[in-house]
């Protein structure tokens, strides 16, 4: 009922009454490999999901049917489409050109940067894994500290003190916070445990992107902790904690030194990727000037006979046709991340429903109505009442959702052990 209300033509016309033109985006969501993909068409400026449909394949003919539906919606609303945005998927490129002739199609800058930085990201990941494997001995230090702190006899029970909420900060921020500390706790062993926790948190931090490689971030954060450790070691307070801090510093030095040469190459490649990324930022000038600089960089890299530069030049050439399309049309929209970030909403809803950490295939199979129901609350913050939904009480699920749910039932029966014999008999009989 919520999805039917969200698709109501009268509701759509009223929602877009003050809009001059539309900017649309299309993207796919596939929580698990091997299952169908949920394709979503969304208006970026208005931040409203239009429709979602699960497809068995990403063939151009199937995806083009979604674009035909998007064209029908735009005609129903009576607004022109000013710009399309998507990643550089062939089905999107060909389908948009066929159904929206003359409408600019901008490629997602984030997808471009991820593709152009692929060799650098692989090298950074390899160095990160090697660095993490060489930082050894942390658990041994922790066990020694805890064993020393453990009392020999049972301590009298005391009333627990009030605790304050613990907030989790990024690993590099934790490192800076520890590095800024000047006064150690009264118990020197707590200093060792704090440093141990900071290093462990840094080693478990995999966040980053094309312009912030995780391995480089990890090495920089470890460097902050190592500098703070050195200040404590220079104080030379002696004792067991001093020795343990020396061992912890040696663990960090061993891991960072192991990948120093590899990360020098990664940093050099990162500098080149940053030069390319600067041409995509609207704050760096007009679109025509930035496109000219982009072309110069592509020609410069094409003239360098190394695999990395040849890869970068090739990706730049393949994306050049769509990165600057639309000129100065809404320069704030440079990529399709707005739609990708919105996918977190249904993913989080799905996780809360079944209690698992991953988003299951239900989000795809029931997505044609699930996504619209969740999006309906974005434009209607207060609770829906009977008066709002009464006109849609006879609404039915879209055919694509009914077919997807039917396929799920067949798949579950097919892989059920107790139904193997009955299923095989039905298949042999053709029923």
Tens of each residue's pLDDT in the chain, 431 residues: 988 888 888 888 888 888 888 989 998 877 766 678 888 898 888 888 899 888 888 888 888 999 999 999 999 888 999 889 888 888 999 999 999 998 988 888 888 899 999 999 999 999 999 988 888 777 787 777 777 777 644 444 434 333 333 334 455 555 555 554 444 444 677 888 888 888 888 888 888 888 899 999 999 999 998 898 888 888 877 788 888 888 888 888 888 898 999 999 999 999 999 999 998 887 788 888 889 999 999 999 999 989 999 999 999 999 988 888 876 666 566 666 666 666 677 777 767 776 666 666 777 888 888 888 888 888 788 888 888 888 988 888 888 888 888 888 887 788 776 655 555 555 556 65
3-state helix, strand, coil in the chain (%, to 5): 65, 10, 30
Strands ordered across the beta sheet of 105-107: 48-55, 37-43, 22-29, 81-86, 105-107
Distance of CA 109 to the CA centre of its chain: 14
User: Quick count: other Cβ atoms within 10 Å of Cβ 300?
Assistant: 14
- pLDDT for the residue 168: 41
CA atoms within 13 A on the CB side of 106: 28
Residue 305 burial by Cβ neighbours in a 10 Å radius (0-12, 13-18, 19+): exposed
CA distance 206 to 218: 8
Using CA atoms, how far apart are residues 69 and 50, in angstroms rounded to an integer? 10
H or E element: which one contains 230? Answer: helix 214-235
Within the chain, which residue ranges are assigned CATH 3.30.420.10? 2-108+336-425
> Which two tokens mark 399?
């055919």
Q: Where are the alpha helices (H) located in 158-259, listed in sequence order?
A: 171-180, 188-203, 214-235, 239-258
How much is the pLDDT for 195? 83
pLDDT tens digit string along 281-338? 877 888 888 899 999 999 999 999 899 999 999 999 999 888 888 766 665 666 666 6
pLDDT of res. 242:
84
Predicted confidence at residue 337, as pLDDT, reads 63
The CATH code of domain 2-108+336-425 reads: 3.30.420.10
Model pTM? 0.74
Give residue 169's pLDDT.
Answer: 47
- Which residue carries 């050894």 as its tokens? 136
Predicted pLDDT at 166: 36
Task: Tell me the C-alpha distance between 327 and 300, whole Å.
Answer: 24
């Amino acid at each position: 009922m919520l999805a039917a209300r969200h698709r109501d033509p009268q509701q759509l016309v009223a929602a877009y009454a003050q809009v001059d033109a539309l900017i649309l985006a299309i993207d796919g969501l596939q929580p698990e490999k091997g299952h169908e993909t949920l394709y979503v068409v969304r208006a970026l400026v208005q931040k409203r999901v239009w429709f979602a449909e699960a497809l068995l394949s990403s063939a151009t003919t199937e995806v083009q049917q979604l674009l035909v539906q998007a064209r029908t919606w735009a005609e129903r609303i009576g607004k022109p489409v000013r710009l399309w945005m998507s990643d550089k998927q062939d089905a999107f490129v060909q389908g948009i050109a066929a159904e929206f002739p003359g409408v600019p199609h901008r490629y997602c800058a984030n997808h471009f940067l991820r593709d152009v930085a692929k060799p650098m990201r692989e090298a950074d990941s390899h160095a990160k894994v090697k660095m993490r494997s060489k930082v050894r001995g942390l658990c041994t230090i922790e066990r020694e500290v805890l064993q020393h702190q453990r009392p020999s006899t049972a301590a009298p029970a005391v009333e627990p003190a009030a605790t304050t909420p613990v907030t989790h900060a990024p690993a590099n921020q934790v490192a800076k916070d520890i590095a800024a500390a000047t006064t150690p706790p009264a118990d020197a062993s707590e200093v060792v445990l704090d440093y141990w926790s900071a290093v462990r948190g840094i080693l478990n931090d995999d966040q980053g992107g094309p312009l912030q490689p995780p391995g480089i971030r990890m090495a920089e954060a470890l460097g902050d902790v190592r500098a703070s450790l050195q200040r404590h070691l220079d104080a030379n307070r002696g004792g067991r904690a001093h020795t343990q801090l020396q061992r912890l510093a040696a663990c960090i030095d061993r891991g960072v030194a192991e990948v120093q040469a590899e990360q020098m190459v990664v940093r050099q490649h990162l500098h080149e990727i940053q030069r390319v990324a600067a041409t995509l930022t609207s704050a760096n000038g007009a679109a025509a000037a930035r496109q000219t600089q982009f072309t110069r960089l592509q020609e410069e890299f094409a003239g360098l006979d190394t695999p990395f530069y040849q890869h970068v030049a090739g990706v730049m050439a393949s994306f050049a046709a769509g990165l600057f399309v639309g000129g100065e049309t809404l320069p704030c929209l440079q990529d399709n991340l707005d739609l990708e970030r919105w996918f977190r909403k249904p993913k989080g809803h799905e996780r809360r429903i079944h209690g698992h950490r991953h988003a299951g295939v239900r989000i795809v199979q029931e997505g044609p109505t699930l996504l619209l129901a969740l999006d309906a609350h974005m434009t209607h913050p207060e609770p829906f009442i009977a008066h709002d939904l009464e006109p849609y009480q006879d609404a039915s699920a879209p055919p694509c959702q009914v077919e997807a749910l039917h396929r799920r039932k067949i798949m579950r029966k097919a892989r059920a052990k107790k139904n193997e014999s009955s299923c095989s008999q039905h298949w042999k009989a053709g029923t």
